[in-house]
């Protein structure tokens, strides 16, 4: 399984009343309140209230912690990954602020599924104080931002363009998001994948060439067309 450091989170224990206090309520209490959201708009408003208690300085702390954790990987890949994740974190924070100011959440009436509501059980379990570099409140902010993308905007937790080792990346084509590891981490405790609207990037069987993919996938496409679609004269 391909794993990008910090992008797939490992849960440790279920949430309970012993979670740390942050902003006058425990993370567990906040997660329970988020689970009570009636629809996407209601959830968006609840997330915005929590996210905008933070400042862009907290986003920079998240970026620095992330950079520290991936400092030993390939420098070229590290630079691409850090740039994309930084854009995503800051961009999501600003989108939340803008949508709240515009009153856009009041127009989002689509109901949330039971599976989507389980996201907050997972998020709460990740945010206990276990000695990681991130404080629980900063770790919870990560899950708020990812939950906003997946559950409110119906976008992947890892944005289009997120690179993976080997040259593949999250793609948006034909109105559909595709991720190269979407179905490869569902058995990992704490992974975002079970809640992500992206589809697994096809390995073979498509006629359109892979977009911005690694050479191995481009060659696979050529061989598949040659073998199965009679493009050999």
136-178: pLDDT as tens digits: 899 899 999 999 999 999 999 999 999 887 778 999 998 999 9
Residue 216, pLDDT score: 59
The per-residue pLDDT for range 175-193, each reduced to its tens digit, is 999 998 888 766 666 678 8
Interior/surface letters 16-29, b for 16+ CB within 10 angstroms, e for the rest: eeebeebeeebbbb
Domain count, the chain: 2
Higher pLDDT, 12 or 126: 126
Q: Give the residue among 124, 109, 133, 112 at the shortest CA–CA distance from 37.
A: 112
Domain boundary residue, one of 116, 139, 154: 154
Residues 73 and 55 in one domain: yes
Host domain of residue 192: 158-233
Residues 167 and 137 in one domain: no
117 located within any domain: yes
Average pLDDT score over residue span 101-120: 96
Residue 211, pLDDT score: 56
Residues 66 and 149 in one domain: yes
Residues 165 and 183 in one domain: yes
80 located within any domain: yes
pTM of the full structure: 0.77
7 located within any domain: no
Residues 74 and 38 in one domain: yes
8 located within any domain: no
What are the C-alpha distances in Å from 211 to residues 4, 57, 81, 200? 20, 35, 18, 14
Residues 195 and 104 in one domain: no
96 located within any domain: yes
164 phi, psi to nearest 5 deg: -125, 155
Q: Which two tokens stand for residue 193?
A: 């994948």
Residues 122 and 187 in one domain: no
Domain boundary residue, one of 123, 154, 185: 154
Residue 6, pLDDT score: 43
Domain boundary residue, one of 109, 125, 154: 154
């Amino acid at each position: 399984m391909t794993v990008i450091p910090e992008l797939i989170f490992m849960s440790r224990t279920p949430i309970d009343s012993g979670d740390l206090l942050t902003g006058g309520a425990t993370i567990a209490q906040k997660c329970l309140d988020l689970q009570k959201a009636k629809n996407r708009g209601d959830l968006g408003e609840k997330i915005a209230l929590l996210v905008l208690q933070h400042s862009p300085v907290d986003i920079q702390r998240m970026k620095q912690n992330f950079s520290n954790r991936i400092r030993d990987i390939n420098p070229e890949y590290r630079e691409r990954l850090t740039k994309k994740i930084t854009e995503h974190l800051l961009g999501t924070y600003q989108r939340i602020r803008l949508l709240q100011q515009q009153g856009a959440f009041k127009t989002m009436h689509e109901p949330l599924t039971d599976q989507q509501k389980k996201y907050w059980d997972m998020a709460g379990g990740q945010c206990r104080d276990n000695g990681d570099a991130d404080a629980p409140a900063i770790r919870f902010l990560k899950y708020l931002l990812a939950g906003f993308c997946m559950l409110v905007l119906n976008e992947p937790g890892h944005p289009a363009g997120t690179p993976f080792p080997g040259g593949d990346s999250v793609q948006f084509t034909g109105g559909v998001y595709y991720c190269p590891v979407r179905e490869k981490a569902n058995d990992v405790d704490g992974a975002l994948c079970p809640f992500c609207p992206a589809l697994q990037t096809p390995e073979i069987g498509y006629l359109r060439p892979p977009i911005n993919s690694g050479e191995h996938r481009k060659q696979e496409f050529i061989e598949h067309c040659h073998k199965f679609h009679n493009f050999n004269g």
